[in-house]
Structure formats: structure tokens, C-alpha cells
Structure 1
């Protein structure tokens, strides 16, 4: 790795433990080269409960299931574990469990996320007051920072300036429109498999036997209990497959019968089976019918602006002009959801008069220094 000292600084060993004594094949060497060239690290045998162990992940003898992470992700791993083999979900592979420590990004002051105070929705009637409430001193301070960065560039200061822009927008929105309590969205309830039409008494019986076998194996990991778990999971998986296929076959037979004798019942059954999140069939039919139709009598006129010489890269290196930024901002659509920074298009459009000099300096600074912003 190019930065081995980073691992030592956070207490992660350079040498990865592994109980797999077999020699890597061609795919294994390719994986190692990929990690070396991309500054990635194999998590197995380095952190969590697998630290210094390198537990096998396949057939109890080899490690072929890996978790791969960059250094930034690696230092945020709170837990890593190679779980016990679960025959219901895989034939030979052990599942991996990994828990990360992730901090939710939020702006300063009023910009708070997750069930706390956030700015109210955009109000067109108050739009004029929003642009008036923009703190001009803060805008001037950002301009000064960008001017200093042109002489002495620092990526940290650049990201700090961008964060101040986001905070300025959100704070102004909170001062203009007031605050509201962010509502926590209810989690989508997982559909219970036992409520399926095909889940009958036989499935319930084998499910209970599988649960008992799994509990017994967790308490006492003996060869007999392991074989009992394998048999129970195999029986449960096979009966589920059998009942699902049987249910699908009955549905097909019913659809065939209804299409011949009861057209009304046929379409009623189709509507019941249709996923509500999918578009109607007639909408898809009209869409593909229109895109595949062409009028031979019409000739397409080519826009001369698209005659680009791809060998000439001078256009890509030209400075970004104020007129280009104004044109892009003008085409931003209203009533669009914000990102994690809570900035909506209306904030940008309403303040373009005082902020466009900042954008010109900021974008050209990123272009000239070939620096990408971490957050905006």
C-alpha cells in the first residue's frame, strides 16, 4: 500500500491474518493488484472479531468472501464478523457482518437534520425578503477567502468557503421563513412471508423445525446438530420452492381460463396482481410506440454548435464565464427536493445577483487547481 503508516496510526496491523493456507489463483492476484493500485484494504483478518483470526468463509477451509474498504471507511468500522454458516441462505458461503460509524452531515446553527429544527418550505411571497436578508458581510468574507486562495491554495480552506455558502443559504431561509419540526418518516414495514397466499400449514411446520434446529445448533455446535440444521434448512427451502411454483401455476391456469370465458374477471385479476409502483401497461405501450415511429419526410437539422473537434481541448480549459453561470441558474427548476445540505434551487436563483461573483471565482478556482469539492 502507498500509505501503510495510516493503518498503524489507527491501530490496524499491516499483516492480515488468514486461516486459508491455499495458494491464491489468478483471480486472487488480480484482486491484490486492484487493492494496491486503488489504495484499498482487505478487511478480513484485520478488524473486529476477525482481527488476528482470518476465519474461513467457504466450506470452513478457504477465504473467498471479502470486505474491501478504503482507509477512510476502514477507520470507521466498529464491528466486523464472519458469521456462522447459514444453510438457508447459501450453499457453502458464510455471511459477513460489518457495522460503520457514520456521522450525518448538517450545516451549522439552524441547519439541523433528523427530527430537529429546519427551515420552513420556500414561500414565493417572501422571496424578496429572502434576498434582502442575505448577510452581505458574509458574502464579502467569502470573496476575501477566495481571493486569498488564488494566491495560496488550500483545499481545506476551499471546502470551508463552500460550507459557509451552504450555511448562509440555510440560515437566511430560517430567518426569513421560520422553523419547522422535521418529521421522521416511518420505515416501510417488511412484508411478512407467512401472509403470502402460498404459505400453507406445511410451510409453517417446516419453518418451526428449521427454527428449532438453528437454535439447537447455536447452543451446542455438535456434528449431529449441524446435520440436523442442514436437513431442516434444505427441507424448508425445497417446500417453499414447491409451494411458490404451485401457486404460480394455479395463477397461470386461472388467467388462461378467465381469458377464454370471463374477460371482466381476467382484467380484474391482472389489476390485483399489478405492482402499484409500476406504470400502466397502456402507458408503456404508447411510449415505445411513439419512440419507434419516425417520419421519413422530415429531415433533422444539425445544430452547428455541436460540431466539436474532440482533438481540440482548449475549450475545456477556458475560464468559466459569468454569462454561463447565469444561463445555468436561470434553467434551474423550482419545487425540487434539496440534498443533504438542505439547499434548494430557489435559494440559488433568488440570490444570484450578489452571489454570481462568488460562483465565478469558486468554479474557476476548482478548474485551475483541479480540485473537487468534498461537499457543497
Structure 2
């Protein structure tokens, strides 16, 4: 997960991360001369390194607050690493009733529970609060409450349906099938016979000519079999309708990629 995000991808990881972060900076503040030195001055690169400008533009303070006096632990440094690489920002002490406060979330001593968001998501957070401790919900952790408001995106979904029909050969009707072809398809058979005679004496025979003859023969057999043997419906299929409008093809592909990576990681551990 600790890797730069793809373009326009937004995420919002939340939970007990066991990370103590004090009030250290959770974003990269690059030196412009360093970027110029390594020729990192294309638009996408600059947008990545100066992503914190979006936070400022949304009226969010870059400075973090914390009521905890705990020092930064290894998990805290890992959280900072994730935030800096993925352009995530800790919402604690920056939104809602916790703005400029940084309430403790564990044992009334430390902050280890976080809401981390992409910079563009800050305007969507209309409510954020570190709630009072409730022993029914947790033994030591305090609940984090927040609301994210987004516009509903309605995607048109076309349900694809198909009804397959098949013809099953019946030996007892074999003679009837042959007689029907002779009596009702004689003109087509003669025409096919003439085409085959011409192909036999032709100097050059194209594959397309053979395909046409084969298609015509198949059509005679199929049309006749449907009349003699009748068709039978073998299934009614429809494309499953996705009721979760947010679950787009992009989201599905990313989920499959995550599952694959997770399986590969577990396999390597074994």
C-alpha cells in the first residue's frame, strides 16, 4: 500500500493503526532547487510534491495538534511514510470539533486511531469528532465519528439478456429429416451442387467460396432441424445488475488486483 497513488485516485483509510505521531509533519515539503537539480519539474511531478497546496486552498491548517505527549513510535513513522508517499493527510485535529485539538483516542493517553484522507476529500468531511469513551464499544479505544458527503453518481446499466435455443437430434425422426430436406430444400441443394461443380473445374478456389458453400449447407440443415426436431430452450441468462453504483469497472479491477497481491504476499510468507 505504501506506493504513490495513480492519477485522480482518492482513498480514506481509517482505524486503529497503533501509530503515535505527536505533531510531526505528515507531508513532504520539497526544496524547489532540489527538484530543479534532478529535473523534476514536469506538471504531474510538481502536482504530486505540492499536493499540500490543495489542503491550504481548502482552508485546512497544515499544522497538527495533539493532546498526547507520547513520542513517535515505529508505527508512527510508517504512517508518515504512507501519508507522504500516497499524499494522505491525517484528519485528526484538522476537522470538526477536533480542529486544533487533537483529542486522545486510547486510554485517555495517546492517539493511535486515525482518519487519513486524500487532500481533495477534506471539503467533503462535514462532521468530525472524537467521541466520549464508551466501554461497550471498546476496552480502551474512543470512537471516531465523521460524515463524508458526496454527490450521487447515477450510471446507466443495461441488462444484457440472452435466450439460448438448441436442437437435439432424435434418431427416430432421422428419416423424416432426410425426406424433408429432399422435398423442401431441393432447389437450394441443386444450387449448392452447381457451385461445387464449378469449384471442381476452377483453377483457383478461394477460401471465401468454400466458406459460402459450407454456410449454405449448414443453413439448410439448421432450418430443417428446427422444423422436424423443434427447438428447446436450454437457459435464460442475464448479466448481473450491479446495485452498488460506486462499484465501477475500475473499482472492480483494483479490488481484484488487491486480492491477487494479498494472496501472493501470504504465499511468500509460507
Asked if Structure 1 and Structure 2 have the same fold, meaning a TM-score greater than 0.5 normalized by the shorter chain, the answer is no
**TM-score, length-scaled by structure 2:** 0.42
- The structure whose RCO (Cα within 8 Å, separation 6+) is larger is 2
Larger radius of gyration: 2
Q: Greater strand percent: which structure?
A: 2
**TM-score, length-scaled by structure 1:** 0.30
Q: Greater helix percent: which structure?
A: 1
